[in-house]
Amino acid sequence: MTKYRVGILGATGMVGQRFIQLLEHHPQFEITAVAASDRSQGKTYGNACTWRLNGEMPKRVRSLPVQPPTPPLDCDLVFSSLPGDIARQTEGDFANAGYPVISNSSAFRMDEDVPLLIPEVNHQHLDLLTRQRQRYTAGGFIVTNPNCSTIMLALALAPLHATFGITSVVATTMQALSGAGYPGVASLDIIDNVLPHIGGEEEKIETETTKILGRFVNNQIEPAAMSVSAQCHRVNVADGHMAAVRVNFTRKPDLNELREALSSFRSLPQELGLHSAPDQPIVVRDEVDRPQPKLDRDAGAGMTITVGRLREDTVMDYRFVVLSHNTIRGAAGAAILNAELLIALQYFKTG
């Protein structure tokens, strides 16, 4: 099979490196272009990038020149992991120039005609792409993945909302350091400490969750009618975001029904056998001390989220803890799964 040629915008960053790692042996994609800031442009990727993931930097990318993130690039689609403030202009330029843009950044997530996609949860929202044909007449489009904490929350809530109806959610996150990119938070600020503020994060979780769980009606997304309250904290963990969650339901299920709805959840990516789709999107653990970032972030090669501490609550109906790998299911892996779904549903013309 001919592989799709991909460009990575922000290729030298935390998420960009994860893209490079996850795409190394991918059966459908090959990396043909990398782009980053003017600090890196003009160098080879091997010289520009200090590799910060386990294992070696893949050989194939080392000699690629780092280019500016402007079209044209020698590729069929781009994955973007650019900072939010420059992503709006840059991703728009690529879509205008006819490229499919599969983005991690927050710039377009809440636009009315942009799918905020979790393939297991809201693949119907891809119908929004017909609306983007008016915006991007050269055939380009933008699909985004949610914020790294929103993804695990919305994925855990999806089967519960579909089965029992959710009326309100309270989520308190404990977010890993890699979520702030590199170099991220200064070591003296986080050693022996917890930071109770991550800029923009609470608002993202509160707005993105209802869009993702919303219904596609009359060519637009009708947000889910639930209230979502989030408090976010940066903690001294390298990888793996965690959230303590409390939920109220329209119809309160019993504990077994709740557990079964989570652990039996499968969806289109599993039916289609997409390369990055985990066999089980949600694992429920019954041990009293799970999930833990160190032990559970790599479940399903980083694409499975883990739910534990599932209990009746004393104030709301139920509570649980959810955990996922923030740069895999929460970022690069999520975007790659989005692209695999777009291929399976024939949204890309070339390859």
Ligand X SMILES: NC(=O)c1ccc[n+]([C@@H]2O[C@H](COP(=O)([O-])OP(=O)(O)OC[C@H]3O[C@@H](n4cnc5c(N)ncnc54)[C@H](OP(=O)(O)O)[C@@H]3O)[C@@H](O)[C@H]2O)c1
Q: Should residue 39 be labelled a site residue for ligand X when binding is judged by CB under 6 A?
A: yes
CA distance 89 to 150: 24
Q: How far is the CB of 267 from ligand X (least distance, A)?
A: 21
Q: For residues 182 and 225, which CB has a smaller minimum distance to ligand X in the complex? A: 182
Q: Should residue 115 be labelled a site residue for ligand X when binding is judged by CB under 6 A?
A: no
CA distance 65 to 1: 26
Q: For residues 49 and 321, which CB has a smaller minimum distance to ligand X in the complex? A: 49
Of the candidates 49, 148, 161, 232, the residue annotated as catalytic is 148
CA distance 310 to 37: 44
Q: Should residue 36 be labelled a site residue for ligand X when binding is judged by CB under 6 A?
A: yes
Print the binding letters for residues 43-82 with ligand X: x by CB under 6 A, - otherwise.
Answer: --------------------------x-----------xx
Q: Which long-range contacts (C-beta less than 8 Å, at least 24 apart) are formed by 92-96? A: 92/142, 94/9, 94/140, 95/132, 95/135, 95/136, 95/140, 95/141, 95/142, 96/71, 96/136, 96/138, 96/140
Can you name the residues that pair with 222 across neighbouring β-strands?
A: 215
Q: Should residue 248 be labelled a site residue for ligand X when binding is judged by CB under 6 A?
A: no
Look up tokens 């929004």; give the residue: 128
Q: Which of 67, 104, 209, 338 binds ligand X (CB under 6 A)?
A: 104
CA distance 338 to 303: 12
- Which parts of 127-166 interact with ligand X (CB under 6 A)? 148
* 8 Å CB contact between 167 and 250: yes
Q: For residues 101 and 262, which CB has a smaller minimum distance to ligand X in the complex? A: 101
Q: How far is the CB of 317 from ligand X (least distance, A)?
A: 30
Q: How far is the CB of 155 from ligand X (least distance, A)?
A: 14
Q: How far is the CB of 269 from ligand X (least distance, A)?
A: 19
Among 118-126, 212-220, 304-312, 322-330, the segment contacting ligand X (CB under 6 A):
322-330
* Prior bond of 183 cis (ω within 30°): yes
Let me know if 241 is a catalytic residue: yes
Let me know if 49 is a catalytic residue: no
Scanning 27-147, the segments in alpha helix (DSSP H) are 45-48, 59-62, 84-96, 119-122, 129-135
Phi, psi of 189 (to 5 degrees): -80, -20
Q: For residues 173 and 326, which CB has a smaller minimum distance to ligand X in the complex? A: 326
Q: For residues 148 and 156, which CB has a smaller minimum distance to ligand X in the complex? A: 148
Bin 327: left if φ > 0, else alpha if -120 < ψ < 50, else beta.
alpha
Residues annotated as catalytic are 148, 241
Contact set with ligand X (CB under 6 A): 10-16, 36-37, 39-40, 69, 81-84, 86, 104-105, 148, 178-179, 181-182, 326-327, 330-331
